[in-house]
Structures are given as structure tokens and as C-alpha cells.
Amino acid sequence: MHPTSEGCAPDLAQVGARALEQVKEAVALYTPDIRFVWVNHEFTALTGYPPHEIVGQPLSVLRSGFAADQEYPAMLHQLHEQGHWQGEVWRRKRNGELFPALLTVSTLRDADGELEYFMDLFIDMDRMYEARSRLEFMINHDALTELPNRRLFWDRFAHLVRRAQRYGTTVGVFFLDLDNFKAVNDLRGHTAGDRLLIQVADALRECLRDADTIARVGGDEFAVLLETVDPRTTENEILARINAALTRLWPQLEGNLCTGISLGIALYPRDGSDPETLYAAADRAMYQNKLTKGLSDRLR
């Protein structure tokens, strides 16, 4: 970058003001006697106060009235001593609604060191927690079906197997693959394929318990985890419930599109003692089911 000549030097005050307008946090400047002189767009969006209403008003219009407000003198003392303060406070919006804010306050001084302004920078902690929760959900769930993804599936699988080892219970893992799904994408398009995956996910939710984990672990592959299952009845019972739910789905598909599923099952401790072995056993059983159906179709 070439140095800027004096004649082309930017107006840093204007640059700074534009930058503060564009940040995602609420920003406010107020005078040493604690009255607002400037706020950015995010401040207005968060508190409901437009600039023409808040400028000239005392900071107290945002205070919650809680006992924690008594900490403001201590805050001001630290600001004068150290030049900054950070903490959690309650603030009040224009409509009276209270919200928890993560607040950072800094002092702005002139060339002689005299205090000119205080600058508030704060965010709504409820929004922050919601955004964090949404991010965690996106990390652990499939974007299309909103089912647990492979990552969350393996975490829960390992947890269930450890519990089963400790308490002597049974865990079932069921592996499902949609038959001829590639043909659905090829003939009807990927939008139809996505719609089919969502419908299958919804059908699985309806036929299984809330406590069961239903995950999308691949393109057209789903897995189900069940804890404390009865190995004598579970396989036929769950297979019947899944088949019934999906059989009701096929006639509803666009263009009378008909498909099916291949399903494999493995149980702890009958088919393995760790998640990897059990998963592989269910996967093999699923492919054997698919091959058997393919052979049956060819012999017809």
C-alpha cells in the first residue's frame, strides 16, 4: 500500500463514524454529565430509541431500576481510573421491555487528556444465546431434514453403548437406505429428491418415540438408535412400524413415484460390543437386505 499524500488524507473522524454505524453492536456516545450525544443504527434497532429522541437524554432512561443499577457509581470510578469497564447489566427499551446486555464502556479523551465522551458498546445477551444455540443446532443437525447429523449420531451412539455396558441393557441401531433414490433425483430433479428426504424424515419421527434418535447419516441413509430394547421383539416390531409409515408415504409422492427402503439391524451386545462394530453389522445387514430384494426382483 502506498502512503497517502496529505492532500488525499481521509477524514478519520468520518471514517470512524461510518465504521461505528456498520458494527453489529449497539454503540452510544454520551457526555461526562451522562447525556447521549450520538447513537448508531444498531442502538436504535435494539432499544427502539431513534436518535432524535435519545440525544440529550440522560443515560438513566435505559436503566432497569434493579438493585444492580447501584453499581453505576463504582463503574464510573473504574472508568475514570482505568478508562474502561465491562460487565453484564439490565437495560430498558423504549417500550419498557427489559433485556440483559453485555456492556463495554470506554472513555474518550482529547489531546490534553481531558474527558470528552464515554462510549457504550453493548449486545442483547438473549440474542447472543439464541444465535449460539442456533449455531450449535446447525453444527449437530442436518440442514435439510433438521435430524441429528452423523456427528451427533456418533456422540449419542457412544453414550448409549457406555450406558448399556454399565447397566447391562440393550441398544439397537437400525440402518435405512432408500431404494433407487438416484433415479428419483435423475428423473424428478434434486428438488423432488430433497422433498422425499424431508417426507421420509417426518414419517420416521411419527412412527418412533421422541426418546429415539433418528439421524441422517448420508445422502439417502438414515439411522435410528433405541435404548433398552427387547431383542426378542424389537426387530420385527420396529421394522413393521417403519414399513407401515413409509408404505403410507409412497402413494402420496408426486407423480405416483414409488420407492422403498432397505433396512439393517444390529443389537448390543448380540452383534458387537462397541459402536463401530455395531454400525458395521447394521450396515452389512442393510446391504444384504438390498441384495436380497434385488435378487427377488430379478427372479420374478
Separation CA 63–CA 43 (nearest Å): 15
Name the DSSP letter for residue 141: B
Q: Which of 138, 145, 156 is nearest to 224 (CA)?
A: 156
Query: SS3 of 234, please?
Result: helix
CB 286 within 8 A of CB 263: yes
CA atoms within 13 A on the CB side of 169: 14
Specify the amino acid at residue 150: R
Separation CA 145–CA 96 (nearest Å): 39
Q: Which residue out of 177, 220, 271, 283 is catalytically annotated?
A: 220
Annotation says 112 is catalytic: no
| Cα–Cα separations (whole angstroms), residue 239 to 15, 245, 297 | 65, 10, 20
Give buried/exposed letters for 181-214 (b at 16+ CB in 10 A, else e).
Answer: beebbeebeeebbebbbebbbebbbebbeeebbb
Separation CA 120–CA 156 (nearest Å): 43
Q: Just list the catalytic residues.
A: 220
